[in-house]
């Protein structure tokens, strides 16, 4: 079916975030929507999903004007949405998650489990995710598999429009291939797929048409054949980006962190490496290779079971000048219920006191300076709840917290995941700047391009062991990947 948005405006209170969006999607089309953080993509998705009633404008399905009153309404019309945030219930089986509320019954009202599992399996098979066993608890599955269950769930019943919000963020390798194959099959079946993603390479590969949304407006509509990634980035950012990655730096000989034969049972083994002042070192590995576990252990968050170089507690690590920006800012980077000020000052409260009390004036000044220096938007947001910031700015707030502690070694775990290109470039510049000031940086990333472009050296992990130590200039993406999957010569 064809879907048409005309002059869609959306306001929250007295602030308008969509300023008249026009969008047309045809059956059997993959329509990519790209845009920076805060451009209005999420709001657009919510409107399509029926989760948000548009303030003005209209939605037409096959030319007929439709008013989506609720997500249920959208669902009934064949519009399915898979959000970035998973809604899987971990304590229930995959079957229960898939059939939620629509179980086959025996006479007498009891659930017919064999039939339920059969239907669930059928759904998974038809989505191309047949490898998932519907009987297991959803919480036992990897995040990637949970995402696949989520997508399969959206495909129950008659689907005419499928909206995918950053579906590939947690997928890699064969899982990603399965997703792409599914999207192509849906396209052949005449489904309109609205694909929202930061990953431009994917968009260029998959999409039939691309729209760029910026500041609540569609500013460009194009096709992969007529554009390039660079042009899209420029459009999203509203400026031309000359260079994504900064030029390389001179590294010094001063060792800032030396880890020797470090092990943690069941996670990684016998890992040795050094970080020098002024150096940015990438740490690459597939999911499950032990990258984040290694970082957490070095930082003292989990005890090591062998080797040396790791700190015994985060407090000790911080005292020695380490800072760890974790992978999941909501779970371990921020206290969402607190203000920006409280969050940024969290790691330095004890150091900045007047007698027993926090030096509130000094704290406010220091945090304010950090907000300005990192360009956290909106400016002067110190007293706002940190949850009100956009994702990219929340990430900057986490970084600000650690920079305030004046670190000598900075460990960044996936700092650009779910962050748009323009903000990424900001982050690369910032990290480069810090390295130039003499910090040693460990950049953990599963983005090959980034791990080579932004670093001086790349450590590659495979199944808990260090498989390679390569100079970024002298290696290739293929070589790094070969080390990561164990096929290096």
134 vs 407, beta carbon nearer other proteins: 407
Within 10 angstroms of residue 426's Cβ, the number of other Cβ atoms is 19
DSSP class per residue in 125-158: HHHT-TTS-TTSBGGGS-HHHHHHHHHHHHTSS-
Structural Rg of the chain based on CA atoms: 24
Q: C-beta of 153: minimal distance to other proteins in Å?
A: 28
- The one among 45, 210, 310, 389 contacting other proteins by CB under 8 A: 389
**Which range of residues in 115-123, 128-136, 334-342, 447-455 is near other proteins by CB under 8 A?**
334-342
The CA distances from residue 404 to 18, 398, 412, in Å, are 36, 10, 15
| Contact pick of 88, 297, 318, 444 for other proteins (by CB under 8 A) | 318
Provide the β-strand partners of residue 458: 282, 470
Give strand pairing partners of 273: 259
**Alpha carbon distance 105, 112 (integer Å):** 5
- Pick from 381, 403, 442, 467 the residue near other proteins by CB under 8 A: 381
Helix (H) or strand (E) holding 7: strand 3-12
Q: Which stretch binds other proteins (CB under 8 A): 112-120, 192-200, 224-232, 327-335?
A: 327-335
- Kindly give the residue spans of alpha helices, DSSP state H, lying in 328-420: 329-332, 340-345, 360-374, 391-404
Q: Which stretch binds other proteins (CB under 8 A): 131-139, 181-189, 283-291, 379-387?
A: 379-387
- The site that binds other proteins (CB under 8 A) totals a number of residues, namely 45
Shortest approach of other proteins to residue 85 CB, angstroms?
17
Binding piece for other proteins, criterion CB under 8 A, among 7-15, 160-168, 172-180, 465-473: 7-15
* Window of 174-182, 189-197, 381-389, 425-433 that interacts with other proteins by CB under 8 A: 381-389
Residue 95 and residue 124: Cα distance in Å, rounded? 10
Q: Give residue for tokens 């691309």.
A: 210
**Residue 127, both tokens:** 């989505």
Angle, in degrees to the nearest 10, between helices 143-154 and 113-127 = 100
Q: Edge to edge, what strands does the sheet with 64-66 contain?
A: 15-25, 3-12, 56-61, 64-66
Give 454's contacts (C-beta < 8 A, 6+ positions apart). 245, 246, 280, 282, 428, 431, 432, 443
Interaction between residue 17 and other proteins (CB under 8 A): yes
CB of 29 to other proteins, least distance (A): 30
What are the backbone dihedrals phi and psi of residue 391, each rounded to the nearest 5 degrees, phi first?
-55, -50
367 binds other proteins (CB under 8 A): no
Nearer to other proteins by Cβ, of 228 and 360: the residue is: 360
Phi, psi angle pair for 468, to nearest 5° = -160, 150
Question: Rounded to the nearest whole angstrom, what is the least distance from the CB of residue 313 to other proteins in the complex?
Answer: 8
Residue with Cβ nearer other proteins (153 or 401) = 401
Number of C-beta neighbours around residue 321 at 10 A: 16
Which of residues 365, 388, 471, 473 is near other proteins by CB under 8 A? 388
Q: What are phi and psi of 164, to 5 degrees?
A: -115, 120
Contact with other proteins (CB under 8 A) among 24, 209, 230, 332: 332
How far apart CA 72 and CA 47 sit, in angstroms, is 13
Q: Which is nearer to other proteins, 130 or 314 (CB)?
A: 314
- Selected binder of other proteins within 81, 263, 390, 446 (CB under 8 A): 390
Asked whether 460 and 284 are in contact (CB, 8 A), the reply is yes
Least Cβ distance, residue 221 to other proteins (angstroms)? 24
Q: Which of 63, 108, 114, 356 binds other proteins (CB under 8 A)?
A: 356
Only segment of 168-176, 222-230, 253-261, 319-327 that touches other proteins (CB under 8 A): 319-327
Candidate residues 357, 361, 474, 489; the one interacting with other proteins per rule CB under 8 A: 357
Cβ 196 to other proteins shortest distance, Å: 19
Site string for other proteins, 267-306 (x = CB under 8 A): --------------------------------x-x-----
38, 246, 278, 464: which one binds other proteins (CB under 8 A): 38
Binding flag, residue 85, other proteins (CB under 8 A): no
CB 365 within 8 A of CB 401: no
Point out which residues bind other proteins (CB under 8 A).
12-15, 17, 38, 299, 301, 313-315, 317-319, 324, 326, 331-338, 342, 346-347, 349-350, 353, 356-358, 360, 377-378, 381, 383-385, 388-390, 393, 401
């Amino acid at each position: 079916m064809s879907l048409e948005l005309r002059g869609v405006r959306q306001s929250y209170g007295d602030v308008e975030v969509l300023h008249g969006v026009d969008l047309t999607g045809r059956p059997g089309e993959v329509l990519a929507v790209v845009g920076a953080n805060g451009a209005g993509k999420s709001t657009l998705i919510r409107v399509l999903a029926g989760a948000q009633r548009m303030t003005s404008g209209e939605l037409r399905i096959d030319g007929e004007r439709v008013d989506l009153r609720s997500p249920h309404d959208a669902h009934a019309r064949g519009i399915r949405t898979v959000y970035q945030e998973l809604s899987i219930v971990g304590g229930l089986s995959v079957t229960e998650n898939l059939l939620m509320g629509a179980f086959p019954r025996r006479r007498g009202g009891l659930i017919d489990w064999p039939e339920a599992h059969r239907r669930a399996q059928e759904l998974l098979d038809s989505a191309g995710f047949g490898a998932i066993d519907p009987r297991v608890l959803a919480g036992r599955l990897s995040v990637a598999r949970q995402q696949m269950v989520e997508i399969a769930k959206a495909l129950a019943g008659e689907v005419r429009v499928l909206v995918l919000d950053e579906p590939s963020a947690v997928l890699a390798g064969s899982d990603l291939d399965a997703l792409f194959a599914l999207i192509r099959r849906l396209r052949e079946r005449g489904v309109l797929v609205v694909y929202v993603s930061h990953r431009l390479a994917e968009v260029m590969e998959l999409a039939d048409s691309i729209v760029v949304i910026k500041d609540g407006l569609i500013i460009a509509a194009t096709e992969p054949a007529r554009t390039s990634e660079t042009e899209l980035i420029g459009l999203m950012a509203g400026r031309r980006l000359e260079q994504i990655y900064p030029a390389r730096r001179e590294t010094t000989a001063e060792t800032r962190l030396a880890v020797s034969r470090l092990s943690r049972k069941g996670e990684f083994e016998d890992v040795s490496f050094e970080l020098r002042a002024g150096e940015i070192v990438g740490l690459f590995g597939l999911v499950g290779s032990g990258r984040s576990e290694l970082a957490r252990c070095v930082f003292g968050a989990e005890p090591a079971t062998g080797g040396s170089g790791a700190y015994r507690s985060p407090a000790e690590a911080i005292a020695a000048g380490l800072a760890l920006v974790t992978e999941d800012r909501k779970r371990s980077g921020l206290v969402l219920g607190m203000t920006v000020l409280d969050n940024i000052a969290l790691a330095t409260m004890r150091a900045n006191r007047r007698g027993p009390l926090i030096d509130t004036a000094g704290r406010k000044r220091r945090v304010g300076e950090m907000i300005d220096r990192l360009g956290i938007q909106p400016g002067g947001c110190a007293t706002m709840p940190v949850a009100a910031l956009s994702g990219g700015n929340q990430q900057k707030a986490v970084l600000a917290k650690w920079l305030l502690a004046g670190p000598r070694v900075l460990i960044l775990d996936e700092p650009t995941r779910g962050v748009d290109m323009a903000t990424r470039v900001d982050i690369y510049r910032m990290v480069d700047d810090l390295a130039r000031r003499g910090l040693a940086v460990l950049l953990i990333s599963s983005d090959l391009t980034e791990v080579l472009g932004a670093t001086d050296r790349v450590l590659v992990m495979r199944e808990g062991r260090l498989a390679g130590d390569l100079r970024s200039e002298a290696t290739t993406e293929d070589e790094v990947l070969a080390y990561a999957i164990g096929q290096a010569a």
